[in-house]
Amino acid sequence: MSTETRRSATKPAAKEKGKASNNGADAQPHDDLGGTTPELRRELLRSMLAQRRFEEKCAEAYALGKIGGFCHLYIGQEAISTGVMSMIRPDDYIITAYRDHGQALARGISPRAIMAELFGRQAGCSHGKGGSMHLFDAETNFLGGHGIVGGHVPIAAGVGFAIKYRRGNQVCVCFFGEAAVNIGAFHEALNLASLWNLPVIFIIENNRYGMGTAISRSTANEDVLVRAQGYRMDGESVDGQDVFAVRQTMERAIERARKEKRPTLIEMKTYRFMGHSMSDAVSGTYRSKEELEENMKRDPILVLHNRMYEAGELTEGEMHKMDDEAKAIAQDAWDFADASPEPPLEQLYTDVYSDTTS
């Protein structure tokens, strides 16, 4: 996505006539197009499709043993990554947990570098030393890819601290799942961010399951947003399947961070369409097939597609073409990764320590 589209401001647009599909149980109906231009809407759709097709390729590669270890797919949550990344600037910072492929793609890290990382190759964005859970990219201020639930939330506060220390006006966006709100690190980070007025946007991607444990079985108060009040922090809850709603919420949070130097906690309600990782069934153990199917009706790509279709700006032919392009990007990433060399053995011992001093 270009800088221009990332920076384009949004205003609530006039209501469109077309009706959005709204099959989700607790989703807010949202009819407008979020003040976006047709060009931007196509960019958003392209970004989400690219993630979807990339993740499908990952599942295939995992089944063939080309990707190893733990691998957590983002399918179903793409409106969040795309919506968030479309609102922030290139000099802003992102830090996230281990379900990080979609965010890395939406941020603009090359699909080839990401797939090469998943394949454990030298050309990977972490040179084959991080893998699926530890995607890093200094060029786009993508600070990882962290594997301990909640452990990276205080780090986001630290990035916010550094922004304040240097009197910058960037923001740091921190993604984590709803299960992290029960971790001490989350609470310590929120307290410090609010106490010290740090420009951090904490995003709870509430997909309702921490691995296989439903939020009702893990969290005394399922309304995770009340935790913002506990730290005198602004908070918003938003339909995370609606890319326009995500963008509008982000616009307010970014303004709060840049102008008022205040953090925000945002709950983005979503659903993952795959298992927690590649090792669990999509449904049948901890959630029912019916529940999954019901939620898949609010596929974020479908939601955007329908909105554009109803606005008369997207034909089925065009949709197919965009989808084919997304598939081609994923295939190209696979081909590139597959042909890339493994890291040379000498690199086993590099990057343990930096040999520089200040």
Partner 1 sequence: MAVLTYRDALTQALREELQRDDRVFLMGEEVAQYNGAYKVSKGLLDEFGPMRIVDTPITELGFAGVGVGAAMVGLRPIVEFMTWNFALLAIDEVVNVAAKTLYMSGGQFKMPMVFRGPNGAALQLAAQHSQAWESWLAHIPGLKVLTPGTPADAKGLLKSAIRDDNPVVFLEGEMLYNTKGEVPDEEYLIPIGAAELKREGDHCSVITHGKMVLVAMRVADDLAKEGINIDVVDLRTVRPIDVEAISRSVQKTNRAVVLEEGWEICGMGSQVVDFIQRECFDDLDAPVLRVHQEDVPMPYAKNLERAAKPDAGKTVAAIKKVMYLD
Which residue bears the tokens 């904490």? 202
CA proximity to 269, closest of 328, 205, 327, 213: 205
Binding range to partner 1, per CB under 8 A, among 21-29, 45-53, 138-146, 253-261: 138-146
In the list 157, 250, 274, 314, the residue contacting partner 1 (rule: CB under 8 A) is 157
Binding to partner 1, residues 110-129 (CB under 8 A): 124-129
At its nearest, how many Å lie between partner 1 and the CB of residue 201?
A: 14
Q: Sheet containing 142-145: which strands, arranged edge to edge?
A: 142-145, 93-96, 172-177, 200-206, 264-269, 234-239
Which pairing describes strands 200-206 and 142-145: parallel, antiparallel, or unpaired? unpaired
Binding range to partner 1, per CB under 8 A, among 161-169, 256-264, 291-299, 320-328: 161-169
In the list 83, 160, 199, 263, the residue contacting partner 1 (rule: CB under 8 A) is 160
- Say if CB 266 and CB 238 are below 8 A apart: yes
- Say if CB 71 and CB 274 are below 8 A apart: no
- Return the number of the residue (42 or 146) whose C-beta is nearest partner 1: 146
Binding to partner 1, residues 162-201 (CB under 8 A): 162, 165, 172, 184-185, 188-189, 191-192, 195
CA gap 276, 143 in Å, rounded: 22
- Return the number of the residue (216 or 358) whose C-beta is nearest partner 1: 358
In the list 156, 171, 180, 253, the residue contacting partner 1 (rule: CB under 8 A) is 156
Q: Is 232 exposed, middle or buried (0-12, 13-18, 19+ CB in 10 A)?
A: exposed
Site string for partner 1, 22-61 (x = CB under 8 A): ----------------------------------------
Question: H/E/C letters for each residue in 163-230?
Answer: HHHCCCCCCEEEEEEHHHHHCHHHHHHHHHHHHCCCCEEEEEEECCEECCEEHHHHCCCCCCCHHHHC
In the list 43, 55, 78, 137, the residue contacting partner 1 (rule: CB under 8 A) is 137
Question: What amino acid is encoded at 200 in this protein?
Answer: V
Site string for partner 1, 66-105 (x = CB under 8 A): ---------------------------x-x----------
At its nearest, how many Å lie between partner 1 and the CB of residue 232?
A: 14
What number of other Cβ atoms are within 10 A of residue 116's Cβ?
26
Does 346 sit near partner 1 (CB under 8 A)? Answer: no
Residues that bind partner 1 (CB under 8 A): 93, 95, 124-130, 134, 136-138, 143-148, 151-162, 165, 172, 184-185, 188-189, 191-192, 195, 350-354, 356-358
